[in-house]
Structure 1
Amino acid sequence: MKTKNILLVIVTVIACSCKKEDIKVKADGKIAGIGEFSNTPPKTFDPLLMAEKIDAYMNGKVAGYGYTIMHEGKPYFLNQGGGGWARHRVDAPNIARHNYQARQGIANAAKFVTALATITLLEKYGLSLNEKIYPYLPTNWKPSDEFKQLTFGRLLEHRTGLINYGRRLADYKKTVEGAVNTVIFEDGCRVYDDVNYGLAVVLLPYLRAKKGTVTEYNTLKALESQPLELEESLVYRLLGHIKMNVFKPAGFPYFNMMDYTPWSNSSYLTAYECNLGYSTIDGSTPGVIKDERMIAGARGLYISASEFTQLQYAATQYKIVSKEGYEAMRTQLLGFDGAVMGAHGRYTWKKGSGEKFETMIYDFGKTQVAVFANSMHSQISDDPSILSKAFDESWK
């Protein structure tokens, strides 16, 4: 019998050290949201106050930064939503300020997109996260017995024990066919590794082809004797799936241009035109950028903070995956790194760090936040409490 009282249950999630995390959810399985645990009169979240706190923390700490606070579907920021330089004077003549619209690499925060891309494909074909992954490999690969036990859910939760040999197709083949870390594999510990999401470049195109048309599947099989051509085709197919089934439903009119290499709304950009990552705060050394299409499942993506929060918001409105799919992402930390129990509920976060970029994204329930920096000199991607504290202190 239902009552008006909130019935709390405990959902056990194994964390990276096999430590258990208690996640409070409603009896119907919904994640507790804004204000669920408060017995005091309701307060109002002030996104501009949080913007002040983000600016106060980030300003002067990095070469450049941009951010957006998406609250109830509306973007908020102060001034230009950022500061510093997206392209420093050392990379003249094309220099640019960093702000909420400035695109940059976001490192492994792109795994959030990979999780969406995986779940939307599983849902399309009526499959669950318990679907085994081994049937969706090149036919000339010979997966180990341990690999044959892995599911899409375990892969997205980083509970595999797979060994990372590198980022190319030949490396993934070695991972699939080789031994695993038996402790992680048998205990189901959550241990973060790029290889788990990097395999999306193989699994998702093969899943789509095998469940799609015979012609598409035969096309892939015909390339299996030519590994380099197969690799190129798989990357192209993964990006095509992400563009059509993640970026397009998120409402981007230029979805077909969005990529894991520098791009504009109408063309691709060279290193002389795009925004860059820096090893110094003052930009005294030239910036760098990489084309990360080959590892699109694990990291990369060139995007602005404004665009990313639009993507996050679309996901929370179930425009990309179903309600059940997105709730699974938040409860099981698929495409997220961790969760914080804050004053207004459970907040989920994903960080990105590497290649001179650091990023942090948060889902606070009715509020989504993205903070992107193009040098690795702040703690924004290392300390989740910076943004969770800023959020909790922005209620009046």
Structure 2
Amino acid sequence: MAEVNKLIYQLAGIGLLMFVVNGCQKSDDAVTPAKPQTWFDYFGKALNDSLKAKKVGYGFVILENGAVRSSGSGGLKSRASEPEGEKAFTLDTKMHIASMSKTIATMAFLHLAAEKGIQTTDRILPYLPPAWVKGENISRITFRDLMTHRSGIIGLGNNCVNGAFSENNWLGFKQLIQQGVKTANRGNYCYQNANFGLFRVLIPGILGYQFSGNDVTDDQQTQQRFMEYVQKNVFEKVGINNVIANQPTGDPTYSYSYPYTGVAGWNPGNFTNVVGAYGWHLTPSEAGKLFATVLSTTDQRVLTTAWKDTLFNNRLGTFAGTVPDGAIQYHDGWWFLKLTQYQGVRTVWMRFPNEVIAVLFVNALHHSRGNFPSDDGTDIVTYLARAYTLTRQMKTGRKNAGELTLEHTEPH
């Protein structure tokens, strides 16, 4: 609650400031009228003030119907101790967006499904490499199963622990498909990166790639074809070019612990061979443009209105919840290294009522909890949703009934 109380104080301060400014204005015609403050201004200022106090690198963008209404950034993407020296975190800072990439994989698949006449309830089997051994129940898995984490895949350890690199490269996928899924696990929710990582193999298969049976060749070819398809049919459709799954050459965004302990930052490196469930690198401005254009405007270059409805109604590559104003959709991202402490990134896009989308990136995690850099355990999804709610209530002067609820509260 400390994080929420801090936001309340900041929001109250904004209201007091506006009262003083407006109350002290003279009626003299020579005085320039103050620019009217919108709800978006309050929302942005509250986020800026709160995040700046944490002394972490951050960037956020708030959009309505695809138009930027507020934004902010601060802190450092690289500290003085790093080889590149001290560099500011800005709205143009490229950062690993982690599992926000899952929504991008969903967009790409749905765009291709519309082109090829494929339904989300179709089976994935025809598009897997023929040389892969198919284990129990693999023939029953549908695209929708993957996009809702209900395929029955629970990881190589058979314990629903989410896999990272070892289960999300070519050989990891091959092992998971050979292992198969138990009937008892089919249809049950189990968050697994591999569910979305497999689209790196499936999309080339749908496009007609003839798998050679050589692991090295097929691995490289599916990486290239998947990335080309996403680039041309998702990113470029909204005017974003040259997106990669790696840090910009010589200009990395480092990850740190919170509070900063002086330990050198962590460069997560290259994700090209595992891109799909995670891995894409975007700036806050680019991410805001992408998610707002595709998910909160009438633009249909990536997804038609019908496919957008399919995505939201079936929770494909998204999670859902409610705030007092109404329903929200979102996907957060989380990537970290833990040695003696946590270092990592936390990201989220969130769609609020009335076609408002907010994107927030931070490049630090709490050193002992490995979560959003808060002092009381408030995570990024809760933090952003409550900031929205508190700002709306301050602007309208009334408290709406209801509380924040999330269907899946764990970090993703």
State whether TM-score is above 0.5.
Answer: yes
The residue type equivalent to 1:50 in the other structure is F
Q: Which has the greater radius of gyration?
A: 2
Is the Cα contact below 8 Å between 2:98 and 2:278 reproduced in 1? yes
Pair 381,357 (structure 1): closer, same or farther in 2 beyond 3 Å: farther
Alignment match of 2:112 (pick from 99, 121, 130)? 121
Identify the residue that residue 201 of structure 2 maps to in structure 1: 202
1:93 offset after TM fit, Å? 4.1
TM-score (norm 2): 0.75
1:385 offset after TM fit, Å? 2.5
Distance 1:134 1:251 in 2: 34
Distance 1:83 1:167 in 2: 33
Alignment match of 1:100 (pick from 91, 105, 115)? 91
Distance 2:206 2:275 in 1: 17
Alignment match of 2:278 (pick from 299, 303, 306)? 299
Identify the residue that residue 163 of structure 2 maps to in structure 1: none
Identify the residue that residue 278 of structure 1 maps to in structure 2: 256
Is the Cα contact below 8 Å between 1:87 and 1:287 reproduced in 2? no
Alignment match of 2:310 (pick from 328, 338, 341)? 328
What is the aligned-residue RMSD (CA, Å)? 2.1
Q: Is 1:376 aligned to residue 373 of structure 2?
A: no
The residue type equivalent to 2:232 in the other structure is M
Identify the residue that residue 172 of structure 1 maps to in structure 2: 173
Moved more, 284-293 or 103-112: 284-293
Query: What SS class does the counterpart of residue 279 from structure 1 fall into?
Result: strand
Is the Cα contact below 8 Å between 1:359 and 1:381 reproduced in 2? no
Q: Which runs of 5+ in 2 are unaligned?
A: 1-36, 157-166, 337-343, 367-372, 396-412
The residue type equivalent to 1:277 in the other structure is S
Distance 1:285 1:161 in 2: 40
Distance 1:381 1:276 in 2: 23
Total equivalences in the alignment: 327
Is the Cα contact below 8 Å between 1:164 and 1:194 reproduced in 2? no
Query: What SS class does the counterpart of residue 135 from structure 1 fall into?
Result: helix
**Post-superposition, which runs of at least 4 consecutive aligned residues in structure 1 deviate over 6 A?**
none
Alignment match of 1:392 (pick from 389, 394, 397)? 389
Identify the residue that residue 70 of structure 1 maps to in structure 2: 63
1:65 offset after TM fit, Å? 0.7
Identify the residue that residue 15 of structure 1 maps to in structure 2: none
Q: Which runs of 5+ in 1 are unaligned?
A: 1-43, 210-216, 264-268
The residue type equivalent to 1:70 in the other structure is L
The residue type equivalent to 1:343 in the other structure is P
Identity %: 21
Pair 382,143 (structure 1): closer, same or farther in 2 beyond 3 Å: farther
Identify the residue that residue 259 of structure 1 maps to in structure 2: 244
- Superposed CA offset, 1:159-189 (max 9, x none): 011143412212211211213244331xx22
1:315 offset after TM fit, Å? 0.8
TM-score (norm 1): 0.78
Written as runs of structure 1 = structure 2, the 5 A alignment for 1:129-148 is: 129-148=120-139
Pair 111,85 (structure 1): closer, same or farther in 2 beyond 3 Å: same
Written as runs of structure 1 = structure 2, the 5 A alignment for 1:168-247 is: 168-185=169-186, 188-209=187-208, 217=209, 220-221=210-211, 223-224=212-213, 226-247=214-235
- Superposed CA offset, 1:242-271 (max 9, x none): 00000011122xx2x1111123xxxxx14x
1:281 offset after TM fit, Å? 4.4
1:381 offset after TM fit, Å? 8.5
Distance 2:252 2:118 in 1: 39
Query: What SS class does the counterpart of residue 204 from structure 2 fall into?
Result: helix
The residue type equivalent to 2:247 in the other structure is P
1:62 offset after TM fit, Å? 5.5
